[in-house]
């Protein structure tokens, strides 16, 4: 079955760095764009970043642009999120999610499969 498993979360001091991973299985990873979405404690969902299937294009929320980098290794079926210059407001559960389907004419960028998430806490 389709599965996404995040790892790499933890406690980090403000200004520090962390790299999240998302291991994918049960589908052809290299054929799908992938998202990162986060949820601060008690808050709603916030889209963070998206990467196309071949890694050719990457998009970021303004709140993380210049600090976070999304990447992927299709040979390892793994998605990454490198987070630098972390701030207290980056504290959240981070989810990776698979992009929806593509028709011959366009793709749908909703999130049809989600991982269980990994928790990042930025605190001194």
Beta bridge partners of 93: 39, 119
Residue 44 binds to another protein (criterion: CB under 8 A): yes
Q: Which of residues 57-116 bind another protein (CB under 8 A)?
A: 59-62, 95, 100, 106, 108-116
> Which of 87, 116 has the CB closer to another protein?
116
- Name the one residue in this structure whose structure tokens are 């630098």: 84
The binder of another protein chosen from 16, 30, 46, 74 (CB under 8 A): 46
On whether the CB atoms of residues 89 and 40 are closer than 8 A, the answer is yes
In sequence order, the 6+-apart residues with CB closer than 8 A to the CB of 111 are: 35, 37, 97, 98, 99, 100
Using CB under 8 A, list all residues that contact another protein.
35, 37, 44-47, 50, 59-62, 95, 100, 106, 108-117
């Amino acid at each position: 079955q389709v599965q996404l498993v995040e790892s790499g979360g933890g406690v980090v001091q403000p200004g520090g760095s962390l790299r999240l991973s998302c291991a994918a299985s049960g589908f052809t990873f290299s054929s799908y764009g992938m998202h990162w979405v986060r949820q601060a404690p008690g808050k709603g969902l916030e889209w963070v970043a998206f990467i196309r299937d071949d890694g050719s294009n990457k998009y970021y929320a303004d709140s993380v642009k210049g600090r976070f980098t999304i990447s992927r290794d299709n040979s390892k079926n793994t998605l990454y999120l490198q987070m630098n210059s972390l701030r207290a407001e980056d504290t959240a559960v981070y989810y990776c999610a698979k992009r929806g389907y593509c028709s011959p004419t366009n793709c749908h960028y909703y999130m049809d499969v989600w991982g269980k998430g990994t928790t990042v806490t930025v605190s001194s």
